[in-house]
Structure 1
Amino acid sequence: MALLPARPRRRNLAPLWLLSPAGLVLALVTLVPIGFLVFTSFTDYNQRSLFTGAYSSVGVAQYSQLLASGAFWASLVRTVLFTAAMVAGSVVLGMGVSHLLTRLGRAWRYAVTVVLIVAWAMPNVASSLVWNWLFQPGYGVVNWALDQLRIFGDTTSLNWTQDPARAYVVIWLLIVWQAVPFIALTLNAAETQVPHEHLEAARMDGASEVTVYRRITLQHLRPTLLLVTILSVIWDYNVFNQIWLVSRGGPGDATSTLGVFTYKTAFVGFRVGQGAAISVVTTLLLLALTAVYIRNLLRSGEDL
């Protein structure tokens, strides 16, 4: 009996049809704005263009002016240093809170977890406004509490945003306070998966708790730790709301990071083409930095 030739298998296109609506939405809200941003960075789009729609192509002139701008490089340095400080603070404190959760009883662990979730769920605009009230000169709670200590003298009229160092402290505390809950809960989920037999074996061999945490717990946390570090770098590098609502980049331009610098250029000075160029350069720098972290993340996964 002759065998019939096998029919070629038809490709099932149902998954593509089901995913196409979401794909179209993502393309409209992500790819189209990015494409328009890149296009605008090669034009002289400005306030006049917003009303008339008229603009001219200027090639790479926006990028040439940007790279020759001292204000851009100053804001870039501020962004890198401040991002490093925020990421370091939030990750270190998040690790501490995560480890603390493993030492608490069930009731206290649930209570602390709820508090962390509530703090994390608060919108950053609302928390920034509350933060302004806490550090408000004249009637701010923080100024009142410091005044009651009688250590720093009369602090009731202290304006934190008039001094660059104090402004950075206020913004740093706000951003770290918002970032710690996510980092702590994520690391705690990974820390609860560390094999208990490894920990007990190390303790039986006479290792201290610091050594156990450093040699065993941290080794198992490496992939998760790198992941939250990547996310923290991305979020803190692009911080805008908190800085703008607390200090508006001041005093002067002392706290003007790339996000604030871009906003002032594009929407205060109405040099939209220049602001688009800043955004493109900022994104490229962030992608390069993230690529390094992702490479280390993949390597750490292979080593485990």
Structure 2
Amino acid sequence: MSAADTTTPAKVPPARQAPPPPPAAKERARNGQRPGGAGAAVPWALLAPCLLVLVLVLGYPLARLVTLSFQEFGQSQLWGFLPAEFVGLGNFTEVLGDGEFWTVVLRTVVFAAGCVVFTMVAGMLIALLLQQVSGWVKILVNIALVASWGMPIIVATTVFKWLFDADYGILNALLSKLPGVEMIGHNWFASGPEGLAVIMLLVVWGAVPFVVITLSAGLTQVPKEMVEAARLDGAGAWGVFRYVTLPILKPVIVMLTTLSVIWDMGVFPQVFVMRNGHPEAEFQLLTTYSYDKAFVVNDYAQGSAIALLTVVLLLGVVAVYMRQMLKIGDVE
């Protein structure tokens, strides 16, 4: 055996391990904070201007609304002849015990549900059709959608008033040209359901462009490979839509539906302007009913109570919307 064979191999020292971080550093890393706590302050500093504007614009009116709903406040209190008297839940008890209020609530829910259903169905159909047309047709349709979406509500309402006018409305003239149809002089607002259907058509017309544009953007995210695979498996147009397109668009559809419910429950100018500032009893929704109680009957306390109850009714819808937004954020 040679001397080289008897040489003892050199030992490699073990790798040095970094010392464990202190508990405070672990906690900051777990919370996503930078050393020194600077990371936690950056988001609040960026949000501060927006939060300040929200507090200034919405904070005082909301606080005043809540205060008025627990007081007796009419014209005498408005002009300072009598002090505002705290009545506790008296206004809410009176409103909730009024049968007219529940009739208005039911009418508002039915009206909003109809607007949402027709808006989503029409928006989905138009968005799907836009995927089948040529590029220049799609551009023209999108221009028309954006133009109608950008039209002020007062202008759109005035146009619809002219279209459905009993004496000079173009719709009555066109319908009268059909065989056996005589609509000249027909008053679309003689009954509540028929008049609300016209207002519902106005609301849907103004809401469809946003839904179409949003759904069209969502349809671009549907993988063509999945659509082709479904067709190879024998699925028709309805099968592709139900099992491929609809599941992918579900988060967008839920978000749009929730937003539509919130917007349609708060419809005011369409009803107010269409009825010349004095909606009849069969046209009253929660927004116009609250306005009439406050500024027509001059019972500002009850008007505030009705408005606050409307907010409470919408809180559930807002909670669903926020939950869906958080889900979408988690998926991303």
Pair 1:223-2:251 in alignment? yes
Aligned residue in 1 for 2:105: 76
- The 1:10/1:192 distance shift into structure 2, 3 A limit, reads closer
In 2: Cα distance, 1:23 partner to 1:289 partner: 23
Q: C-alpha offsets along residues 107-127 of structure 1, whole Å, 9 cap, x if unaligned?
A: 000000010010111111110
AA aligned opposite 1:106 = G
Task: State the Cα distance separating 1:297 from its structure 2 match.
Answer: 6.6
In 2: Cα distance, 1:9 partner to 1:267 partner: 55
> 1:238 pairs with 262, 266, 284, which one?
266
In 2: Cα distance, 1:297 partner to 1:204 partner: 35
Pair 1:204-2:232 in alignment? yes
Aligned residue in 2 for 1:267: 295
Q: C-alpha offsets along residues 273-296 of structure 1, whole Å, 9 cap, x if unaligned?
A: 101111111101111133245546
Pair 1:110-2:139 in alignment? yes
Aligned residue in 2 for 1:3: none
In 2: Cα distance, 1:221 partner to 1:14 partner: 34
AA aligned opposite 2:187 = N
Task: State the Cα distance separating 1:205 from its structure 2 match.
Answer: 1.3
What is the aligned length?
Answer: 299
In 1: Cα distance, 2:123 partner to 2:234 partner: 27
In 2: Cα distance, 1:283 partner to 1:34 partner: 11
Task: State the Cα distance separating 1:157 from its structure 2 match.
Answer: 1.1
Aligned residue in 1 for 2:78: 50
RCO comparison, higher one (Cα < 8 Å, 6+): 1
- Unaligned segments of structure 2, at least 5 residues: 1-23, 25-34
Aligned residue in 2 for 1:98: 127
Aligned residue in 1 for 2:209: 181
AA aligned opposite 1:165 = P
> 1:67 pairs with 86, 96, 101, which one?
96
Counterparts of 1:274-293 in structure 2, within 5 Å, are: 274-292=302-320
Secondary structure, counterpart of 1:33 in structure 2: helix
Task: State the Cα distance separating 1:235 from its structure 2 match.
Answer: 0.3
Q: Identity over aligned residues, as a percent?
A: 38
Task: State the Cα distance separating 1:11 from its structure 2 match.
Answer: 3.2
AA aligned opposite 2:87 = V
In 1: Cα distance, 2:78 partner to 2:154 partner: 28
In 1: Cα distance, 2:50 partner to 2:253 partner: 31
1:222·1:300 contact (CA, 8 Å) conserved in 2? no
In 2: Cα distance, 1:17 partner to 1:289 partner: 30
Aligned residue in 2 for 1:9: 36
AA aligned opposite 2:209 = P
Q: Which moved more, 1:245-254 or 1:193-202?
A: 245-254
Task: State the Cα distance separating 1:10 from its structure 2 match.
Answer: 5.8
In 1: Cα distance, 2:85 partner to 2:279 partner: 35
- The 1:223/1:10 distance shift into structure 2, 3 A limit, reads closer
After superposition, the CA RMSD in angstroms is 2.6
Q: C-alpha offsets along residues 35-62 of structure 1, whole Å, 9 cap, x if unaligned?
A: 1111110011112222227311111100
Counterparts of 1:138-157 in structure 2, within 5 Å, are: 138-153=167-182, 155-157=183-185
2:262·2:317 contact (CA, 8 Å) conserved in 1? no
Task: State the Cα distance separating 1:32 from its structure 2 match.
Answer: 1.7
AA aligned opposite 2:38 = R
Q: C-alpha offsets along residues 175-226 of structure 1, whole Å, 9 cap, x if unaligned?
A: 1111110001101100111011000101111110111011100010000000
Task: State the Cα distance separating 1:30 from its structure 2 match.
Answer: 1.2
Aligned residue in 2 for 1:120: 149
AA aligned opposite 2:145 = L
Secondary structure, counterpart of 1:239 in structure 2: coil
